[in-house]
Amino acid sequence: MAAPLSLAHAPAMAMGMTYLAMADSMSLSMQNAVANQQRGQATAAAAVCQTLVLIIKLGGSSK
């Protein structure tokens, strides 16, 4: 039979595990957001680089 003390702590332990799972999920979401932002920055830098290459190829003249 389970000890009364361990039964009394069960709801608090359950809530603690719930909060832990929620915190882990939120941290994974934040990590994904940071990774997406970094990929977006890399894509933007590549687009700027390609645009500058085209400008240099055309000589920057507006004929």
pLDDT digits (tens, 9 = 90+) for 17-26: 999 999 999 9
Q: Is the dihedral of CA 27, 29, 35, 37 positive or negative?
A: negative
pTM for the predicted model, two decimal places: 0.64
Q: What percent of the chain has a predicted confidence (pLDDT) above 90?
A: 71
Map out the domains of the chain as residue ranges. 35-63
3 or 50, higher pLDDT: 50
Tell me how far apart the alpha carbons of residues 59 and 50 are, in angstroms, rounded to a whole number. 14
Predicted confidence band of residue 63 (pLDDT cuts 50, 70, 90)? low
Q: Is the pLDDT of residue 62 over 80?
A: no
Q: What is the pLDDT of residue 45?
A: 97
Q: What's the whole-number average pLDDT of the chain?
A: 90
Cα–Cα nearest to 45, from 37, 34, 56? 37
